[in-house]
Chains A and B, each alone.
Chain A
Amino acid sequence: MTNCIEIKGLVKEYKTFTLGPIDLTVPGGSILGLIGENGAGKTTLIKSMLGITRPSGGRVTLLGTDPDHAKEDIGVVMDDCFFSEYLRVKDVNSVLSRVYRDWDRALFQSYLDKFSVAGGKGIKELSRGMRMKLSLAAALAHRPKLLLLDEATAGLDPVVRDEILDEFLSFISDDGHAILISSHITSDLEKVADYIAYLHQGKLLMCDEKDRLLESYGRLVCTKADLEQIDKGYVVAVRKSQYSTEALIRHKGDFKRLYPRLTVEPVTLDELMVFVVKGEQA
């Protein structure tokens, strides 16, 4: 299995924010879910990967080549529809068929039909959800090998999101295809992602297989006295309130064997993020 994305030491420096250094690999046939709070650097990472914003350092290889040469095989959806309101849906077909070598006009139309987007409509008449579907159709109609999606499912209702997630799963059934998707809707990522990368304040805090990540971390609910007794090496972050004490625990299996009396619950990606951002370090 070849890697569709290879990032080594990627750095992007701004006056008040630095992304990286980021090392990341996404193998073919897989989906990497990128999570992180607002301003963590997810969009900057995707833009840097594509050369939209110029990295300050590091190397990005997409589909085995440099990003500029790979763009014919990359589909991109950002957090909003980038087609002017002065265009009609069918204009997108005319414009992009002259941009992409392998653009398939019929395939684009079939995605529009599938997503129920009327080709004759003006883009300004479309709802946010419809615009995102249009963006997805545009990202898929040149038969890309790699999809880079930045909040592509934001603003969509659960039914449409489910349809689109199915589309993603069918897309990566080809071993030469991969998806990087950043999303705040972590339940979507829990459904489809094979890997999770967690960006926090520009740094990659975690990057692992989703199942291993969710299996290795747990949420300990205990008393303050219990917390003081346990080995701090297991504790990633702690959240204390007037009524309860919770801790994010690493190496959950070992911890449970060591402290069978304590309750460790499964953790969701949402909880993991909240612990890291809002919890106190142990």
Chain B
Amino acid sequence: MTGLILKDFLILRKSLRSYLVMLLIYAGIAFTGVWSADIVGVLMIVMVALLPMNVFAYDKQCQWDTYNLALPVGRTKTVAARYLCVLLICLASAALTAVCGVALWAAGRMEEPAEFLITCSIMGLMSVLVNAIMLPFLYKFGPERARMMFYGIMGGVVLLVAAFLFPLGGLEWLKSLDIAEPTLGQIAVLPAVAAAAGVALLALSFLLSRYFYGAKDV
């Protein structure tokens, strides 16, 4: 199984390098103060959503799935390896974002570290959620169709949320709920809660993907 995880990282080598460069550029822009540090978190969610999709596309390109099933690995371990790869990408991405955040904070370029922590936790959870939804689609329908379906679903969700918020006058109604500001302690545990929720989501998603891949004729 470690061989398959290594394979995924090796074929993503160039993409990961580009991601690192972009992260440095975005962190640099945040350092200048042109954009807020939250932009680093936004980059994280975009990249973490795109990288696994790319692995499926690269595998499809060279028909790796056919060869993979001739290897002494088995279908469950194949899916598990892909999920571990995604989890590692998410964790590495979160760690890098945190490093950027700490650097920006230490340089005095971040006004609200707590806000950054909340944003990054939510973004991290979102990136895992995106993968948890996306991966079963990728196993069931393949990269091209899954990508289109995913964009369709995401577009649909955005439209639904907009349709819900528009009559309420946007997010202003949230203020009327009178939610208390989170305490520092609550903020501190947020990343751990987000990580636990992410792992639980991925575990559920894994069961679905394993079912789809198990029934698949390559």
A37 interface residue per 8 A CB criterion: no
Q: Is A71 in the interface zone, CB < 8 Å from B?
A: yes
> Does A81 lie at the interface of the complex (its beta carbon under 8 Å from any beta carbon of B)?
yes
Residues of A within 8 A of B33 (CB): none
Number of A-B contacts (CB under 8 A): 76
Q: What 0/1 pattern do residues 75 to 104 of A give for CB contact below 8 A with B?
A: 010101111111100010011111111000
Interface residues on B, range: 20 to 34
Residue numbers in A under 8 Å from B6 (CB-CB): 94-95, 98
Residues of A within 8 A of B4 (CB): 95, 99
Contacts of B67 in A (CB 8 A): 76, 78, 82-83
* Docked-complex contact B74 and A50, CB < 8 angstroms: no
Say whether A47 contacts B14, CB under 8 Å: no
Contact call A74/B70, Cβ cutoff below 8 A: yes
> Whole-angstrom distance between the alpha carbons of A72 and B70 in the complex?
9
Interface of A is mostly: loop
B61 at the interface (CB under 8 A from A): yes
Q: Is B186 an interface residue (CB 8 A)?
A: no
Q: Complex Cα distance A86/B10, Å?
A: 8
Q: Is the CB of A71 within 8 A of B72?
A: yes
Min distance, Cβ A10 to any Cβ of chain B, angstroms: 15
B145 at the interface (CB under 8 A from A): no
A243-280 near B? 1/0 per residue, CB < 8 Å: 00000000000000000000000000000000000000
Given that A78-B67, A94-B6 are known contacts, is A52 also in contact with B62, CB under 8 Å in the complex? no
Tell me whether A68 is interfacial, beta carbon within 8 Å. Answer: yes
Given contacts A85-B61, A98-B2, A99-B72, whether A47 and B66 have CB atoms under 8 Å apart is yes
Q: A58 contacts the other chain (Cβ, under 8 Å)?
A: no
CA distance A109 to B7 in the complex (A): 19
Report the bound CA distance from A179 to B63 in whole Å: 23
Shortest Cβ distance from A123 into B: residue: B62
Please report which residues of chain A, range 142-198, place their CB below 8 angstroms from some CB of chain B when the two chains form the complex: 148
- What 0/1 readout, one digit per residue, does chain B (66-95) give for beta carbons within 8 Å of chain A? 110111111000000000000000000000
Residue of chain A at shortest CB distance from B70: A76
**Chain A residues near B2 (CB-CB < 8 A):** 98
**Interface size class for chain A?**
20 to 34
Kindly state the separation between the CA atoms of A53 and B13 in the bound complex, as whole angstroms: 31
Chain B residue with minimal CB distance to A80?
A: B63
Q: How far is the CB of A265 from chain B (nearest CB, A)?
A: 41
A83 B62 Cβ-Cβ under 8 A = yes
A72 to B69, CA, bound (A): 12
Q: Is A212 an interface residue (CB 8 A)?
A: no
Closest A residue by C-beta to B73: A99
Q: Please indicate the chain A residues that have their CB under 8 angstroms from the CB of B62 in the complex.
A: 80-85
A9 in the interface, Cβ–Cβ < 8 Å?
Answer: no
| Partner-B contacts on A (CB < 8 A) | 47, 50-54, 68, 71-72, 74, 76, 78, 80-87, 91, 94-101, 148
Residues of B at under 8 Å CB distance from A?
Answer: 2-4, 6-7, 10-14, 58-59, 61-64, 66-67, 69-74, 217-218
19 contacts between A and B (CB under 8 A): A50-B69, A50-B70, A52-B70, A71-B70, A71-B72, A74-B70, A82-B63, A82-B64, A86-B13, A87-B7, A91-B7, A91-B10, A94-B6, A95-B3, A95-B4, A95-B10, A98-B2, A99-B71, A101-B72
Closest 3 CB pairs of A and B: A98-B3, A82-B67, A71-B72
Given A84-B64, A148-B70: 13 more A-B contacts, CB < 8 Å: A50-B70, A72-B72, A74-B70, A82-B67, A83-B64, A84-B11, A85-B62, A86-B11, A86-B58, A95-B6, A95-B10, A98-B6, A101-B72
